[in-house]
Structure 1
Amino acid sequence: MSNLTEKDRLDIATFLLHKSKDGQLFRGTVLEAALKWNVHRNTISTIWARAKKSQLNGSLDVKSKRYGNKNRKRILPDLDYIKTLKFSERSTIEKISLKVKVSVGTVHSWVVDGLLKPHSSPLHPLLTDLNKVNRHKFCLNSISVFQTVNQVNQTDSRLKFTDMSQTVHIDEKWFYLTRTNQRYRVVDGEELPYRSCKSKRYITKVMFMCAVSRPVYGLEGELLFDEKIGIIPFTCKQAAKRSSKNRAAGTLETKSIDSITKPVTKALFIEKIIPSIMAKWPSTSDKRIYIQKDNAKPHITNNDPDFRKVATEDGFDIQLVFQPPNSPDLNTNDLGFFRAIQSLQSEISATNVEQLVAAVDKAFTEYIPMKLNKIFLTLQTVMIEIMKAKGHNNFSIPHMNKDRLLADGRLPTNLTVDEGLVKGCIDLLLEIGETSGIENLMEELGYHLDE
């Protein structure tokens, strides 16, 4: 037993007093008490000695004399020295223990106490100066002036992000039949799962093009548009060349298109993406739509005649816009949607291309619209951090506690942007002579920026 409580010690002393006569314990009492309270005989003897001594003073005091933490003084880390170590020299607890010359357990206790924190360092895209300028412009062009009336009937002007409801984010991603490393939870003694393949290069994969927009909600909070335009696989039907135990020769099979060229993406845009947007777009929304995508070479341009013909049917005016180069953090798909879909897709075991396509489509369909709405809010926080970092990508995305705000009914639709931050970004662009596209923005915001 560990340390006895004060009540336990008092109970033991009372028990011993009842088992004694003239200051002498009956034979076998110490052993009986030790077994009853599950402590060592010496502990019982110590309590008995203190009980007899305290009784001479007319009291029964057998309280423990141990106060506070009597363990050995903990070793505190020299954080300044640890900071001087290269990051490669402190990638593991073992490496730190060797450098600091303490035990692995001591370093682990520092991690538990929060003195050392694990950090996964992602590999960011390398940005040129022109990339940073374009990131600045992209963020500024997502800001507008909103007029509000305060409590004294005065008009206030605030800078906020647009609601982004007219923009469709498009991107591509490979989905694999299985992961190279899959993590499970197994019961003790359970047979461990075994997976094998001839080579990692032979793992079946399919590229998907995903198109999403921001969910649209009514005045009562009802969902009017779930934002999910579609997730289209790059697949085709091919006849089997030979017979096998699974199918006869000539059977049509779904195969992945591994070579994604401009004609392939153009056909997908015109035949799948655009019709899906037109079919699902809310009738009450503006039909001028912007499709945001990256600068991949297989992508078509906005001036493609075949695309323009389809994009202007039924009163629609669909425009293709490019996000800044090397900026996946400005697309909601890369910002979090793909990871969420992949997590849901991995819960379904697939053995062929058709099952993989069905699993991805199921994950896409079951994804909760409000979660994607929160990703759009995250995009706005990213834009704020980009402007603070002067176009760079060396920042951490701040937490907004969106779930708590949603539960309290205080989740904003658009984030407010600090006036000084916007003014500083515009001044920076003017200083380096990058005024293209900025004059119109300054004309709109100039009266608010106190120029």
Structure 2
Amino acid sequence: MEHSMIIATKRQYISVVQRRAIYEALLQASDSGELERGAISTIAAHFSVSNRTVSRIWHQAKSQVDQGLPVDLSSHLAMVVGRKRVQVNLNQVLDIPLRRRTNIRSLANCLNVSKSTLHRRIKEGALRPHTNAIKPNLTNENKRAILEFCLSNVSRSLSNQIPTFHDMFNVVHIDEKWFYMSKPSRRYYLLPGEDEPLRTCQSKKFITKVMFLAAVARPRFNASGDEIFSGKIGIYPFTRLEPAKRSSKNRVAGTLETKPILSVTKEVTRSWLIEKVLPDIRAKWPGSQLGPIFIQQDNAKPHIDVNDIEFLEAASRDGFDIRLSFQPPNSPDLNVLDLGFFRAIQSLQEQEVLGTIDELVHAVKTAFERMESQQLNNVFLTLQTCMKEIIKVQGGNNYQIPHIGKNRLEREGNLPLQIECDRNLIDEALLHLAA
């Protein structure tokens, strides 16, 4: 039994310009409103369209002429053709609790739309994704101390000049950070047919890690823009060498192995400052130092006191005056390492394939040296812009880290050395402290 096959062809879209050209050809092939025999077939073949299309255009135009109307050959299909847009009342989003807005599936369910519809609205910019990080809970005393610290970094002695933040050339920022051999979850970009990588370990809770102490200062450049001091004092792993207790396929008993120091105490911190940080500061500091150099640290328990006798004795050698200072409690944004430099180092370190602690230490040190000094200088400028925002919110942390386009300003030769701070803003902060 034979079956007839029905082939559905897609209707061809013809632009207004093409319709006008077909109509002009029809007019030339007509006489007193009547077409010549075979004109429709000839014109259809010339314009590669169907006879029906040419006939439709002719009858549409003739009908308009008979009614005394101007000939309009537009298709009238604008906003009609294609898939109908699903209407979503995004004003309802404000009434949905934030806890129900943590993923597309949950939010789409609350709005009673599909995930794909909501995803298209996000791509269009009607909704924006936001990653929210927990910030320290500040007491009134914390806010006051942070505000006083930020104001102490503003030069406001001359009344006829705009106040600016200090250049911070005499401050060394130190901080500690754990660096891991690998991350429990990593993102890769693969080709459609490429095999997914397999990563294994005994337990995600015991991934090998090493704590590092980093010390950086603000880089310095001459009038020509050439670097005269990178600002990178050093990065020091908290590790020690221990002899292997028993033989294995990798080494014999007694071979010295690098082991991480998992418990960093005040004694360890003091030793690393005196034996590693201070010698590197004296060796790398540019020119003669006329004033004191401040090593700024946070309030972590392993950090030693500013009046530590052993440290003060070592810090006063060779004509240097190096002092310790604490930044306010719960203020990670006031340290350039926490503010962005550690993250930049980590992104470089994670690109390496690591198998041992020595390889991890080498990767972190290499990443530290690869960081450009200009990038470190930019973080110091970001620190000053954060201080300005902190003054605006009177010592709080309810602000967004501002962006001033430092790379663009650098290309244009307009990158500032110090960030200006409005005098009225300072006066308001002083009144707040006096209240």
TM-score (norm 1): 0.85
Per-residue deviation, 1:12: 6.8
Q: Which residue of 2 aligns with 1:4?
A: 14
1:397 offset after TM fit, Å? 1.2
Conservation of the 8 A alpha-carbon contact between 2:409 and 2:415 = yes
Deviations along 1:410-441, one digit per CA (max 9) or x if unpaired, are 1111111111111111111111xxxxxxxxxx
Q: Which residue of 2 aligns with 1:304?
A: 308
Between the aligned residues of both structures, percent identity stands at 41
Aligned with 1:123 (options 119, 129, 134): 134
Superposed, 1:101-250 pairs within 5 Å as: 101-145=112-156, 156-250=160-254
| Residue 401 (structure 2) pairs with residue 397 (structure 1) | yes
281, 298, 303: which is aligned to 1:277?
Answer: 281
Residue-pair matches, total: 414
- Among 46, 52, 68, which residue is 2:53 paired with? 46
Measured after TM superposition, the shift of residue 361 of structure 1 is 0.5
Cα-to-partner distance string for 1:321-346 (whole Å, 9 max, x where unaligned): 00011111110000000000000111
1:191/1:76 CA distance change after superposition, 3 Å: closer
Distance across 2 between alignment mates of 1:193 and 1:354: 24
State the secondary structure of the residue aligned to 2:94.
helix
Q: Out of 61, 64, 75, which is 2:87 matched to? A: 75
Deviation at 1:106, TM superposition (A): 2.8
Q: Which residue identity does 2:354 align to in structure 1?
A: A
Stretch deviating more after TM superposition (85-94 or 101-110): 101-110
Alignment RMSD: 2.7
Structure 1 SS opposite 2:241:
strand
The change in CA–CA distance for 1:157 and 1:47 in structure 2 (over 3 A counts) is: same
Partner in structure 2 of residue 357 of structure 1: 361
Tell me, in whole angstroms, the C-alpha distance in 2 between the residues paired with 1:78 and 1:46: 42
AA aligned to 1:406 is E
Judged with a 3 Å threshold, the aligned counterparts in structure 2 of structure 1 residues 187 and 303 are, in CA distance, closer, same or farther, namely same
Indicate yes or no: 2:48 matched with 1:22. no
Q: Deviations over 1:368-399 (max 9, x none)?
A: 11111111111111111111111111111121
Deviation at 1:281, TM superposition (A): 0.3
1:421 to 2:431 alignment: no
Secondary structure, in 3 states, of the residue corresponding to 1:99?
helix
CA distance in 2, matches of 1:349, 1:417: 45
Offset, 1:25: 5.1
The alpha-carbon distance between structure 1 residues 22 and 52, as it changes in their structure 2 partners (threshold 3 A), is farther
Name the stretch that deviates more: 217-226 or 5-14.
5-14
Checking the alignment, whether the CA contact within 8 Å between 1:287 and 1:315 is kept in structure 2 is no
Gaps of 5+ in 1: 148-154, 432-451
- Supply the distance in 1 between the matched residues of 2:124 and 2:339 (Cα, whole angstroms): 31
- Aligned-pair CA distance for 1:267: 0.6
CA distance in 1, matches of 2:354, 2:233: 24
Write the deviation string for residues 205-244 of structure 1: whole angstroms up to 9, x where unpaired: 0000010011111122111100000000001111111211
Q: Is the 8 A contact 1:51 1:61 kept in 2?
A: no
Distance 1:182 1:33, change over 3 A: farther
Deviates more, 1:66-75 or 1:303-312: 66-75
Q: 1:418 to 1:15 in 2, by over 3 A?
A: same
SS of structure 2 residue aligned to 1:278: helix
TM-score (normalizing by structure 2)? 0.88
1:320 paired with 2:335, answer no
Which residue of structure 2 lines up, in the alignment, with residue 386 of structure 1? Answer: 390
